[in-house]
């Protein structure tokens, strides 16, 4: 058993300044199957970079003598076949094999000595077993021989994810750091990946998919508002304990808030009494007796004033101590959803819809009727035509057969799988699309994106922030029908739960494509599986 020790570190970004961790202490057993959760912007990916020693901390130290391997792995040749990409991501076998072949052909003493060095490295990296190991791991993660023989760039997003995960787990003696592996994976792919990770040990993984975390982790590290904590168990275990703790903290916070107000009131009252005594110095006549009285009152007033200052200092110290006890209860805001009041009872009707793209049949004779207030989830494997259906509805694809009917006066708002606003400044995109800037900023704040969001280009926003921007476009104006294409990609758990609550409360008419099982179970009235 080895541990990664984070000893009293402080880390902040300098331009612009943003404190991420202050006096953080953390111990991670490298045999745990660990899930890392927390709101967007709390420092989850930053923590992975600190563990890899990619970032220098301003204070404290990292004790980590283990080789760390990061997913998603990027250093590969996309034109190579998938088997070769996996193999060379584990170790530079191809390079070592080529060098050994060249050294043997020279057959001199120096070349033979170098050959033995390379051979030892090759054997230590499992070079003679790696082909068999790849085939074994590929089978366990649902990748067949046909996929392994294809050029890597032709694979779907889910196939690429599973292929590259094989490579990081085949590296000997490495601790695996995984950053959001489920984005763009379909439900079946998530289940396969979850079962695969369940069979492994020794990883730290950022994920926001609650069902997926329940499948494969045995510890949770959560970055809360005031602390980072570790708990044994899966996500549901953590949520149960955290919810109960928050209920206790809310009661404690209410008590502390009342005590703080009481102390502030006492401080204010004591200041007023002291002030009134000070004014007594100036009352009375100008006689000698009056002067003696005023001298006596003045001395007493000065004494009271000094007592008041000391008392106020003690009160303020007490107030600050009590404020420090206010714990992880997060501020919660209601996200409102605007609906067209005059929406008809029949919002959308699709009859015998068929579509071919590039000679491939995407779907055939598909029919659907959507009534006002219905929440319908569309599920299915990647590439089965879910997004193409949305493109037909919005007119972005026209070469289909069949009929799509909806009243011409209704407003359809769509959120895309890949956000539409990718370049330039947020403010310019808002102005160009005639969006109310104040309303937009308010909704973004509720979704957890605030600060100087109009001062940096969209390229500098995180994937989660860009996703929230795309969702925000659909929430700020009334609509009769919402089309959401994988709305939860890159969103933290708190944002997912906020969207669930909003859809359940305001009951919009919505078609949504999603692979998050818990979200579908909590929100959808109907599920259509492609």
Dist CA 299 CA 147 (whole Å): 92
Q: In terms of pLDDT, which residue wins out, 29 or 270?
A: 29
Express each pLDDT in 4-63 by its tens digit: 999 999 999 887 788 999 999 999 999 999 999 998 888 999 999 999 999 999 999 999
* 56 exposure class (CB count in 10 Å sphere: 0-12, 13-18, 19+): exposed
Question: What is the arithmetic mean of pLDDT over 74-95?
Answer: 89
pLDDT score recorded for residue 324: 55
DSSP readout, 487-499?
TTTT--HHHHHHH
Q: Strand locations in 448-513, DSSP E?
A: 481-485, 510-513
> Locate tokens 């500098």: which residue?
460
Express each pLDDT in 200-252 by its tens digit: 988 999 999 999 999 999 999 999 877 899 999 999 999 998 888 777 767 77
pLDDT score recorded for residue 258: 72
Q: What is the DSSP letter of 126?
A: T
Dist CA 304 CA 276 (whole Å): 10
Pick the range with the lowest mean pLDDT from 84-93, 266-275, 341-350, 488-497: 266-275
Tell me which long-range contacts 131-137 makes (C-beta under 8 A, separation of at least 24).
Answer: 131/87, 133/170, 134/83, 134/86, 134/87, 134/166, 134/170, 137/166, 137/169, 137/170
Q: Which H/E stretch holds residue 5?
A: strand 3-14
Pick the range with the lowest mean pLDDT from 12-16, 75-79, 321-325, 497-501: 321-325
What is the token pair recorded at 393? 């509805």
What is the token pair recorded at 311? 């008392």
Express each pLDDT in 477-503 by its tens digit: 889 999 999 999 889 998 999 999 999
What average pLDDT is seen over the chain? 86
Task: Please state the φ and ψ torsions of residue 403, each to the nearest 5 degrees.
Answer: -125, 140
Half-sphere exposure of 91 (CA within 13 A, CB side): 21
Q: How many CB atoms lie within 10 A of CB 395?
A: 9
Q: What percent of the chain has pLDDT over 90?
A: 52
Dist CA 210 CA 250 (whole Å): 24
Sequence-ordered list of residues with C-beta below 8 angstroms from that of 14, at least 6 positions apart, any chain: none
Dist CA 221 CA 339 (whole Å): 39
């Amino acid at each position: 058993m080895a541990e990664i020790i984070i000893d009293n570190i402080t880390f902040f970004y300098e331009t612009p300044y943003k404190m991420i961790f202050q006096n953080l202490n953390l111990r991670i057993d490298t045999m745990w199957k660990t899930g890392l959760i927390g709101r967007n912007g709390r420092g989850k990916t930053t923590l992975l970079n600190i563990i890899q020693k990619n970032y220098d901390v301003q204070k404290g130290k990292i004790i980590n003598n283990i080789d760390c391997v990061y997913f998603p792995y990027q250093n590969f040749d996309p034109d190579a076949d998938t088997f070769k990409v996996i193999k060379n991501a584990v170790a530079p076998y191809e390079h070592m094999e080529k060098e050994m072949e060249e050294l043997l052909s020279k057959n001199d003493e120096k070349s033979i000595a170098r050959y033995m060095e390379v051979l030892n490295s090759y054997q230590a990296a499992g070079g003679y077993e790696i082909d068999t190991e790849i085939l074994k791991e590929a089978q366990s993660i649902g990748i067949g021989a046909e996929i392994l023989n294809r050029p890597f760039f032709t694979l779907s997003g889910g196939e690429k994810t599973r292929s590259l995960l094989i490579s990081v787990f085949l590296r000997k003696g490495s601790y695996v750091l995984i950053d959001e592996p489920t984005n763009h994976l379909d439900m079946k792919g998530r289940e396969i990946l979850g079962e695969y990770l369940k069979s492994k040990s020794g990883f730290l993984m950022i994920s926001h998919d609650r069902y997926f975390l329940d499948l494969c982790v045995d510890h949770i590290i959560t970055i809360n508002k005031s602390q980072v904590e570790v708990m044994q168990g899966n996500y549901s275990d953590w949520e149960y304990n955290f919810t109960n703790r928050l209920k206790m903290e809310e009661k404690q916070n209410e008590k502390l808030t009342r005590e703080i107000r009481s102390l502030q009131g006492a401080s204010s009252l004591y200041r007023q009494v002291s002030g009134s005594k000070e004014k007594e110095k100036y009352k009375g006549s100008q006689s000698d007796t009056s002067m003696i009285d005023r001298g006596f009152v003045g001395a007493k007033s000065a004494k009271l004033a000094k007592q008041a200052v000391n008392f106020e200092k003690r009160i303020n110290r007490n107030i600050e101590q009590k404020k420090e006890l206010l714990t992880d209860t997060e501020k919660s805001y209601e996200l409102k959803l605007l609906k067209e009041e005059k929406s008809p009872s029949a919002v959308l009707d699709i009859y015998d819809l068929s579509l071919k793209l590039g000679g491939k049949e995407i779907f055939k004779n598909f029919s659907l009727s959507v009534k006002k207030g219905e929440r319908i989830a569309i599920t299915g494997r990647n590439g089965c035509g879910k997004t193409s259906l949305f493109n037909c509805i919005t007119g972005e694809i026209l070469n289909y057969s069949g009929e799509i009917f909806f009243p011409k006066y209704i407003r359809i708002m769509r959120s895309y799988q890949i956000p539409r606003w990718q370049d330039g400044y947020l403010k310019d995109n808002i102005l160009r699309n005639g969006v109310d800037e104040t309303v937009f900023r308010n909704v973004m704040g509720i979704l957890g994106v605030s600060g100087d969001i109009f001062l940096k280009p969209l390229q500098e926003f995180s994937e989660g922030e860009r996703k929230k921007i795309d969702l925000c476009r659909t929430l700020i104006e009334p609509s009769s029908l919402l089309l959401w294409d994988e709305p939860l990609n890159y969103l933290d758990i708190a944002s997912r739960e906020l969207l669930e609550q909003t859809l359940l409360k305001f009951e919009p008419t919505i078609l949504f494509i999603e692979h998050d099982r818990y979200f579908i179970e909590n929100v959808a009235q109907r599920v259509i599986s492609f």
